[in-house]
Amino acid sequence: MEEVAAAHSATMDRSRSDRFLEETEGGPRTLRRSDTAVDLYHPFTKTVSPRDASEAQFDQSVYRVPHLRDLADNVGRFPSPLATAVATRSLGRSFVPETETILADIMSKKDAETVSREYLRGGPREYTAFHPKSVKAAIVTCGGLCPGINTVIRELYMTLTAMYGVEEVYGVRMGYRGFYSPELSLVRLTSDWVSDIHHRGGSVLGSSRGGFDLEMIVSAIAAYGFRHVYIIGGDGTQRGAQAIFEECCQRRMCVSVVGIPKTIDNDIAIIDNSFGFVTAVEEAQRAIRAAHVEAISGYHGIGLVRLMGRHSGYISMFATLASGDVDVCLIPEIEFDLAGDCGLLSHIERLLDTKGHCVIVVAEGAGLSQMLRDDDDADEAHDASGNVKLPNVGIWLSEEIKRHFRARGREINLKYLDPSYEIRSVPPVATDTIMCTLLAQSAVHGAMAGYTGFICGVVNTHHVMIPLREIVRKGRTRVDLSSRMWHRVLASTLQPPLRNQSPRKEHDK
């Protein structure tokens, strides 16, 4: 059976691979368990002794990235094919040393003497841990759509095949479930198949939420004999990737597990920004422009745009800054009052009085506490499974605004826009295409070099590898209300705090 044979070759079948290595490398090598026990929670910083001089120089501040040689003594060491490839002859001296790092904290305040964190720089290494012919790679995309997924898929394929000479790259269909679901067969990627996908939105492999079954997934990886597993997905998906990585370690599987973080909301810690975010901010302009045109063309026009961002307001913040036409920007990180002299409704009234119209951007996670406070029947705010079901802040807000002005007998023309899917599904802008291309190249370089359990990302404009564990540990970030960026939004919108100053009330609490 094909599957059994495949599984065999990944974990145990040394004969074929040994024979291969014998032929190409000059002698048989067996995969050996490393002597020390692997501590999965600090697997690479504590138990593993440095293997060469350069590593000894590593500061404590550097986030080490797991490497297959931490797991076994007999990991391969092949000269990178990039050194000889005709097409890249001029690349000869371009390998990134294993000790090159990028500083994370670069704002110097002079009074605080902090040691900056550092991240390992991404890029091609002089030696690879895999012989290209032995690599069978899997790519899976999970979660909601985000511009650029197809570019990542295409460039993973191109870098693996055209640069490294890998011959088998498979696409897993419809997210994690595609590893094991009988109705979803793998797609063998070919040059033709990927040739045009970077100009399309969505995910050509299909994507879905859920479907994470650790046991079935890792067994499938073993059965198919995948050596590289590239996992494109968000927060939850990367937690899954970390679990897969850990399980592969436990099983002593010679597999590089690499995450490529995907979240249109841009709320991943550490990295400058995630792919697709720039496109989302760009596309959001279209909706804001429509809201602005409706607002200025209508009698007491109000344009209200709901943008993505369940937990963080990054898209709303940047879209507001980019627009220049927004009067109020509401994000999950801020609290605001509806009623009262300093509340939102009074502010809208003042805007109608002075400018004649106004444009409001609201992130989907904004106003939660206000909505719940407002809700007479708060028990309904849970769905059948008991999860908190977020009410739609855009619809709630437009109802509240209409009610307010109706009560005052004042005519308004409110237009509500919710462009979510139109934003998610477009092909990426050039900036994101480049980022996707480089992330994918970086992922393959890292995996070929034997690194595993990491994600690729950009820190202070440089491509780095970050341990999956760090990303999982940090979780989501949120807009820092004391940051310059948020202040710039306030400066651009001229929006007041929108809180009624009632010290007594505060005191009561």
Q: Known catalytic residues?
A: 265
Q: Which is nearer to a copy of itself, 66 or 303 (CB)?
A: 303
Residue 93 backbone zone (phi > 0: left; psi -120 to 50: alpha; other: beta): alpha
Site string for a copy of itself, 235-274 (x = CB under 8 A): -------------------------------------x--
**77-96 positions binding a copy of itself, by CB under 8 A:** 86-91, 93-94, 96
Question: Are 291 and 357 spatial neighbours (Cβ–Cβ below 8 Å)?
Answer: no
> Per CB under 8 A, which of residues 432..461 are in contact with a copy of itself?
433-434, 437-438, 441, 460-461
Q: Which helix (H) or strand (E) holds 328?
A: strand 328-330
If the CB atoms of residues 12 and 115 are measured against a copy of itself, the closer one turns out to be 115
AA identity, residue 53: A
Measured between alpha carbons, how far apart are the two ends of the chain, in Å?
68
**Per-residue tokens: 32:** 């050996």
Q: Parallel, antiparallel, or unpaired for β 328-330 and 358-363?
A: parallel
Nearer to a copy of itself, 129 or 160 (CB): 160
Bridge partner residues of 228 (DSSP): 137, 256
Site stretch for a copy of itself (CB under 8 A), options 1-9, 68-76, 217-225, 292-300: 292-300
Give the nearest distance from C-beta 97 to a copy of itself in angstroms. Answer: 7
Phi, psi of 179 (to 5 degrees): -65, -30
Q: Is 326 in the site for a copy of itself (CB under 8 A)?
A: no
Handedness of CA 15, 185, 254, 250 (dihedral sign): negative
Which of 30, 57, 354, 385 binds a copy of itself (CB under 8 A)? It is 57
- As measured in angstroms, the least distance from the Cβ of 194 to a copy of itself is 10
Beta-carbon count within 10 A of 28 CB: 11
Between 70 and 98, name the residue whose CB sits nearer to a copy of itself: 98
Minimum CB–partner distance for residue 11 and a copy of itself (Å) = 30
Shorter beta-carbon distance to a copy of itself: residue 4 or 430: 430
Interface with a copy of itself includes 53 (CB under 8 A)?
no
HSE, CB side, 13 Å, CA atoms: give it for residue 217.
28
Could you tell me which residues come within 8 angstroms of residue 300 by beta carbon, excluding any fewer than 6 positions away? 352, 356, 357, 410, 411, 412, 413
Site string for a copy of itself, 5-44 (x = CB under 8 A): ----------------------------------------
Give min distance, CB of 396 to a copy of itself, in A.
15
- Sequence-ordered list of residues with C-beta below 8 angstroms from that of 335, at least 6 positions apart, any chain: 369, 370, 499
Here's the x/- map for a copy of itself, 393-432, by CB under 8 A: it reads as --------------------x-xxxxx-xx-xxx--xxx-
Encoded one letter per residue, x for contact with a copy of itself by CB under 8 A and - for no contact, window 483-502 reads -x--xx-xxx-xxxx-----
Residue numbers 105-134 binding a copy of itself by CB under 8 A? 106-111, 118, 121, 123
Of 78, 75, 69, which is closest to residue 133 (Cα–Cα)? Answer: 78
**Residues whose CB falls within 8 Å of the CB of residue 493, separated by 6 or more in sequence, listed in order:** 320, 326, 327, 328, 329
Of residues 40 and 490, the one with the C-beta less far from a copy of itself: 490
172-211 binders of a copy of itself (CB under 8 A): 174-175, 177, 196, 198-204, 206-208
3-state secondary structure of 259: strand
Q: Which is nearer to a copy of itself, 211 or 225 (CB)?
A: 211
The binder of a copy of itself chosen from 145, 255, 330, 449 (CB under 8 A): 145
Long-range pairs for 488-491: beta carbons < 8 A, 24 or more residues apart: 488/321, 489/317, 489/320, 489/321, 489/329
30 or 57: CB nearest a copy of itself: 57
Give min distance, CB of 431 to a copy of itself, in A: 6
Q: Regarding beta strands 136-141 and 228-233, do their DSSP bridges make them parallel or antiparallel, or are they unpaired? A: parallel
